[in-house]
Amino acid sequence: MTNSFTNASAKDAGAAWLGGEFAGKLVVGNWKMNGLATDAKALVQALVAQGAGDKSLAPQGQGQGQSDVQLAICPPFTLLNPVRQWLGAAPLWLGAQDCHAEEKGAFTGNISAAMLRDAGCQLCILGHSERRQAGESSPQIAEKLAAALRHQLIPILCIGETLAERQAGQTLAVLAEQLASSLPFPLEGSGNSGGGATPAPIVLAYEPVWAIGTGLSATLDQIAEVHQFLRQQTAALGHVPLLYGGSVKASNAAEIMALGDVDGVLVGGASLNAEDFGQIAVAASTVLAGRSVSTAAA
């Protein structure tokens, strides 16, 4: 099998991030409950055709992984296997949108982390606000996160405040509580994926509920404040990549990803359009290239 992303070790990638080496940008498309085979195939083929995820997106052509743009798409369960095949050798990562906490058994309608790994996933979104709003609790999410880690899936843990919570000045308190109670290990730094010394590779996505699907992104100041806070909160876990999600589009992706503590974006609606998603990937690359230039000039 020549497919590079099925051979890629998510655990290794996560370890690289957590080793403090991750200086790239992670751009993840969450397709949510969208996609029938015909349209999805056209979307994936368009992404591949425009070079999404290939090394041409990498600034200065490094192609070293840790300092590149890494793209990932998270289609619905039904499309994981065909998307993997349509991607061919394109180095995009494949992710799911949820998993069950148990290994297997009488859980009608659910999908285990082992099944996702078996289907070629590297990532799994967990705790999305659309699932929290449907009744999923932080302790349940913590169990799912542990299951994902057991099967070498990198969890993208989503947290975010509602508009009412923001207006009441509770944003950081809400985020701190959601983060601490959605992890299966303490934030103080003893987290690991099964007894080893390496902290668990996780990605954290800040998605303000009021910015999701509304076209109204959080302001740069709001994002910067929250990401700085989350960087402090996760400091003992190593370098946890921090994504922003909520009405990210081609027109605002670069300024968001240029913020110091934003390691990438989690994109909903705009990831369903190959051109838009491709432009967001290019924005990530441009930001990285700009950073390299200013670092070199300093």
Q: Which residues bind ligand 13P (CB under 6 A)?
A: 30, 128, 207, 212-213, 245-248, 266-270
List the catalytic residue out of 128, 151, 227, 239: 128
CA atoms within 13 A on the CB side of 139: 0
Measure the CA–CA gap between 84 and 284, rounded to whole angstroms: 23
85/133 with CB nearer ligand 13P: 133
List the catalytic residue out of 100, 207, 227, 239: 207
In degrees rounded to 5, what are phi and psi of residue 209? -55, -35
11/128 with CB nearer ligand 13P: 128
Q: Shortest gap between Cβ of 123 and ligand 13P (angstroms)?
A: 12
Q: Shortest gap between Cβ of 104 and ligand 13P (angstroms)?
A: 27
Whether 227 is a known active-site residue: answer no
Nearest to 122 by CA among 264, 4, 11, 243: 11
Q: Shortest gap between Cβ of 268 and ligand 13P (angstroms)?
A: 2
59/246 with CB nearer ligand 13P: 246
- Report the amino acid identity of residue 40: A
Whether 130 is a known active-site residue: answer no
Tell me the residue nearest to ligand 13P as measured from the CB.
268
Q: What is the CA angle 71-141-266, rounded to 5?
A: 25
Q: Shortest gap between Cβ of 77 and ligand 13P (angstroms)?
A: 16
Q: Are the CB atoms for 245 and 205 separated by under 8 Å?
A: yes
The C-alpha R_g of the chain, in whole angstroms, comes to 18
Q: Active-site positions?
A: 128, 207
